[in-house]
Structures are given as structure tokens and as C-alpha cells.
Amino acid sequence: MIKNNKVYIIGFMGCGKSTAGKKLASLLGWSFVDLDRKIEKHTGKTIPELFSEYGEDYFRKVETEVLKSHKSQANVVISTGGGSPCYDDNMDFMLETGVTVYLKLTPDQLKTRLAKSKTDRPLIMGLSKDGLLSFIEEKLTNREKWYNQAQIIIEGIDLNISVLYSTVRTSLNI
């Protein structure tokens, strides 16, 4: 399949996918898509509402549908949800249709970031700090087999967007 100048930003929740994606899209002069915001627009419900009303399985089906709706879109940076690469054939789809970038953080780094925003994230609502760290460690261990398939793996803490920009340009031959 032809890679049509598309970049997927993947990684655990709270790693900075949306922030990095917006900056990268701006530097490239491309469109930016936040997959979670697209899902909310598509369904008319927030992510927490979808999880609460229909459960994670339903959410993942919608997420896959919305992700794949961008198949033919070119010159776009798409920030995915933390679990997006791990369901259905989503990671294979992203690898076939664009360049994938994994923003990698340690469990402790993620805990620090997520502790500030737990109420917005259905999978971690109500967890204690110790429970949050255990959750992150377990989920990250499970998800890294998908994340580590990314063509570009970059440290997410103190991310140098210029380095990411030049690495992506080289990867896409642009």
C-alpha cells in the first residue's frame, strides 16, 4: 500500500501525542487529527460517556472505524488514543498507510502526568497513586509489543520537536 504522507502518533495515554501531533503538523504544513476528538464528533458523546454507556469493546470498534476513515487522507498527522494500536488490525493498518511514531515514557513519568488528569480518563478514574502506577506498568507491558513496532521511537519527555520533524521528513523522503 502507498504511504500517502501520513504520520500516526502513538503511545500510552498522557505521553503527549496530541501536543506533539499539533506541533509536528504545523511544522509540516499538514492537517492535524486528534482521533479521540473525531470519535466524540462522530458519536456525539465524550470518551468517558462512551465507556460508561457502552463499554470499552464498543468504544474500540468505533475507534477502529474512525481511524480507518482516514485511509485516503494525505498530508495529515493523526494522534491516536493510547489503546488504538492494540486493537483489531489497527497497528498493521497504520504501518501500511503511514509512518508511526511512538512517544515513549517510563511508567513513573506517565504516572506523574496522569495523576493530574485522572478525571478525564475512564480507564484510570478513581485509582490511587499506587494503583495508578500498577495499572500503567501492567498496561504498558501489554501494549509495548504494538508500540515497539513503530518506525520511529522517540523519548517523549523533553521531546525536541525539531528532531522529530527532521526524523519524520527523512522517513517520508520529503
Distance CA 59, CA 39 (A): 9
The grid coordinates of residue 139 equal 498496561
* Domains annotated on the chain, with CATH: 6-168 (3.40.50.300)
Distance CA 153, CA 91 (A): 14
pTM flag (> 0.85): yes
The grid coordinates of residue 110 equal 506517565
Question: Considering only CA atoms, which of 13, 21, 63, 70 is closest in space to residue 40?
Answer: 63
Per-residue pLDDT of the chain (174 residues; tens, 9 = 90+): 445 699 999 999 989 999 999 999 999 999 999 999 999 999 999 988 998 899 989 999 999 999 999 999 999 999 999 999 999 999 999 999 999 999 999 999 999 888 877 557 777 877 887 888 999 999 999 999 999 999 999 998 889 999 999 999 998 888
- Residue 77, classed as helix, strand or coil, is strand
The H-assigned helical ranges of 44-150 are 47-54, 56-68, 90-97, 107-114, 129-147
Q: Which residues contact 51 (CB under 8 A, 6 or more apart)?
A: 59, 122, 123
Using N-to-C axis directions, what is the helix angle for 56-68 and 35-43, rounded to 10°?
110
Amino acid at 171: S
Query: Are 21 and 32 within 8 A, CB to CB?
Result: yes
